[in-house]
């Protein structure tokens, strides 16, 4: 029995500790996946205060920066507040997830007072509508306008899961700085413009003054922070209406309503920012099309082996015109931090498109010019290859200088110095190729063919016809055949005018084969054969 009692006491202690831990400041209410955690049984009869923290910005209201989307407040002044304090992560310029937008919309519905924290004097001076806080306020306003002001059909079909609309909510904009540095009128006008942009999405939406009690306050000390939280707590308590009694039920019902409406899936950019995004995208598309049209005409010429007239000047003009027009058309977006990075990215893409295309066309023209120069140089070598050696060397050197000069002259029109596209490297490479072509020319197929053709022409050259006439000549052939078996043989000849004498010695008189040729008798010792030749030219 005693053992069982100890187990019961231990179980109660664990439950008590778990309950205390879950209700301690800083406890997670919603994780990064948008799931509600085990929420303690905290009553909301004294109201709810939602503190919207700015990620990365030190807070005078919170002791620790929140690491979750939605959590209980961790503040030195929280103990003096009678209302429930929750902390929601605000929007950033880098982007806001659907879960974070849902959390902001939920806070806008359930809180009697919303405290937008982390606003700096720099944000105010640069323009609040251009900062990350503009996205935060847009999310709060959009949810408030769309979900708290119900249409007649929605009012007739209210279910138990629908949170009762709050007639008026206190909105505290906390500035980390001195009151003297804050232009309240300008700040309130910017907030009104953000609200009007969100209210346009809802037909018949109430004005900012009807929905919010807007207050701009400055914080410089812990006393200021305590006073701000006390003010928010009083406003939240005064705004309490009948409804859900626990924080868990209130959060669950509001989050369900937000998800069903899809308000968290809408982008948080204010209209002027969205318009700037569209303007940048349209300008990029227009300038990219204009650039491509010109580039296509250039590539069509280079594909046929031609050069673009005054390419260097035309490329520089196109590049300056396209980028200049883009910058002029998107100048208003340059002052919007939300759009400035996107504008820079699009300009970088446009510049890369132009630079890459210009480099490709430049390289194609250099290739075409090299090919035509080498072809012309080889043709010149082919024409002079049959000249005397001394003149060939001089003509080849002159041709080399001429082609190099012509190439560099034409390259002057192709250079784009702004992209580092000059003639220096191309001229150096061409000189090397011309020298290689000069060395390899004698063994080239064209040179071999021309040499072969010259030989054939000489060999097949027809003798020119002479004068008409008749020429006589005597050809005398004598052979001496002494005794022997053919070990000695020799011939000698002499020609004078149209007459010729051929004398031979062959000691084969005893050779059986020779005797057989003469019918079995020895050949004569000396044999003389005269021949009369008559040449007639008609």
Q: Would you say 180 and 137 are in contact if contact means Cβ atoms under 8 Å apart?
A: no
What does the pLDDT look like over 24-82, one tens digit per residue? Answer: 455 788 887 778 877 767 777 788 898 988 888 888 888 777 778 888 875 545 555 56
| Distance, C-alpha 382 to centroid of its chain | 48
Query: What is the reported pLDDT for 20?
Result: 34
CB atoms within 10 A of CB 144: 27
Query: What is the reported pLDDT for 81?
Result: 59
Quickly tell me which residue has 């007072």 as its tokens.
Answer: 113
- Give percent above pLDDT 70 in the chain: 84
Answer positive or negative: Cα dihedral of 373, 374, 376, 380: positive
Query: What is the reported pLDDT for 265?
Result: 65
Query: What is the reported pLDDT for 302?
Result: 93
- What is the per-residue DSSP string for 465-513? P---EEEEEEEEEEEE--SSSS--EEEEEEEETTEEEEEEEE--TT-HH
The stretches in the chain having pLDDT less than 70 are 1-26, 40, 74-82, 148-167, 201, 242-245, 264-272, 274, 338, 389, 458-459, 462-466, 538
Quickly tell me which residue has 């303690």 as its tokens.
Answer: 40
Quickly tell me which residue has 């400035």 as its tokens.
Answer: 340
- What is the per-residue DSSP string for 284-344? HHHHHHHHHHHHHHHHHHHHTT---TTHHHHHHHHHHHHHHHHHHHTHHHHT-HHHHHHHH
């Amino acid at each position: 029995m005693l053992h069982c009692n100890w187990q019961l006491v231990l179980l109660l202690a664990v439950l008590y500790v778990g309950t205390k831990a879950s209700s301690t400041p800083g406890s997670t209410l919603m994780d990064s996946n948008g799931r509600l955690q085990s929420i303690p049984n905290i009553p909301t009869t004294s109201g709810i205060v939602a503190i919207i923290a700015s990620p990365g910005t030190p807070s005078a209201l919170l002791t620790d920066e929140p690491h979750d989307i939605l959590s209980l407040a961790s503040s030195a002044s929280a103990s003096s507040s009678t209302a429930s304090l929750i902390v929601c992560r605000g929007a950033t310029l880098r982007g806001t997830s659907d879960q974070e937008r849902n959390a902001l919309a939920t806070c806008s519905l359930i809180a009697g007072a919303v405290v937008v924290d982390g606003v700096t004097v720099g944000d105010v001076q640069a323009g609040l509508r251009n900062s990350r806080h503009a996205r935060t306020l847009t999310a709060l306003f959009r949810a408030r306008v769309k979900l708290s002001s119900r249409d007649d059909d929605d009012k007739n079909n209210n279910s138990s899961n629908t949170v009762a609309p709050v007639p008026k909510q206190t909105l505290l904009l906390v500035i980390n700085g001195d009151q003297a540095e804050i232009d309240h009128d300008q700040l309130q006008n910017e907030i009104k413009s953000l609200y009007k942009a969100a209210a346009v999405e809802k037909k018949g939406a109430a004005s900012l003054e009807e929905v919010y009690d807007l207050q701009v306050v400055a914080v410089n000390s812990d006393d200021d922070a305590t006073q701000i939280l006390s003010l928010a707590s009083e406003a939240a308590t005064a705004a309490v209406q009948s409804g859900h009694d626990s924080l868990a039920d209130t959060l669950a019902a509001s989050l369900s309503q937000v998800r069903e409406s899809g308000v968290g899936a809408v982008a948080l950019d204010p209209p002027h920012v969205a318009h700037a995004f569209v303007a940048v995208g349209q300008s990029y598309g227009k300038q990219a099309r204009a650039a491509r049209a010109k580039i296509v005409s250039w590539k069509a010429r280079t594909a046929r082996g031609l050069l673009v007239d005054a390419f260097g000047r035309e490329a520089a003009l196109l590049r300056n015109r396209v980028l200049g027009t883009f910058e002029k058309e998107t100048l208003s977006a340059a002052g919007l931090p939300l759009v400035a990075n996107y504008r820079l990215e699009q300009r970088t893409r446009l510049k890369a498109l132009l630079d890459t295309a210009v480099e490709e066309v430049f390289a194609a023209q250099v290739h075409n010019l090299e090919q035509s120069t080498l072809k012309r140089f080889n043709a010149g070598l082919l024409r002079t290859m049959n000249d005397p050696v001394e003149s060939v060397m001089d003509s080849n050197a002159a041709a080399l200088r001429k082609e190099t000069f012509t190439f560099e002259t034409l390259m002057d029109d192709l250079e784009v110095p702004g992209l580092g596209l000059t003639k220096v490297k191309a001229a150096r490479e061409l000189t090397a190729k011309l020298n290689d072509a000069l060395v390899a020319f004698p063994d080239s197929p064209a040179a071999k063919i021309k040499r072969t053709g010259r030989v054939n022409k000489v060999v097949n050259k027809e003798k020119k016809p002479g004068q008409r006439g008749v020429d006589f000549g005597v050809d005398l052939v004598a052979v001496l055949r002494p005794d022997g078996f053919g070990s000695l043989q020799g011939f000698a000849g002499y020609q004078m005018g149209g007459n010729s004498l051929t004398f031979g010695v062959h000691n084969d008189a005893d050779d059986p084969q020779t005797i057989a040729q003469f019918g079995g008798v020895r050949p004569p010792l000396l044999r003389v054969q005269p021949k009369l030749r008559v040449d007639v030219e008609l």
